[in-house]
A and B are shown apart, each in its own frame.
Chain A
Amino acid sequence: KQEVTQIPAALSVPEGENLVLNCSFTDSAIYNLQWFRQDPGKGLTSLLLIQSSQREQTSGRLNASLDKSSGRSTLYIAASQPGDSATYLCAVSVDTGRRALTFGSGTRLQVQP
Chain B
Amino acid sequence: DTGVSQDPRHKITKRGQNVTFRCDPISEHNRLYWYRQTLGQGPEFLTYFQNEAQLEKSRLLSDRFSAERPKGSFSTLEIQRTEQGDSAMYLCASSRTGYTGELFFGEGSRLTVL
Contact = CB atoms under 8 A, between A and B. Distances in A.
B40 interface: yes
B44 to A, nearest CB: 7
Given A32-B101, A99-B101, A42 B108 contact: yes
Interface in A23-46: 31-32, 34, 36, 41-46
Interface residues of A, number: 26
Interface residues of B, number: 27
A43 B105 contact: yes
B47 to A, nearest CB: 9
For the residues of A in contact with B, the DSSP-based class is strand
B44 A43 contact: no
Q: Which of A32, A34, A103 has the most CB of B within 10 A?
A: A103
Contacts of A101: 33, 43, 45, 93, 103
A78 interface: no
A19 to B, nearest CB: 20
A51 interface: yes
Q: Which of B44, B102, B104 has the most CB of A within 10 A?
A: B102
Interface in B66-80: none
A49 B105 CA distance: 14
B85 to A, nearest CB: 19
Interface in A41-68: 41-46, 49, 51
Interface of B: 4, 6, 31, 33, 40-45, 48, 50, 55-56, 91, 93, 95, 100-108, 110
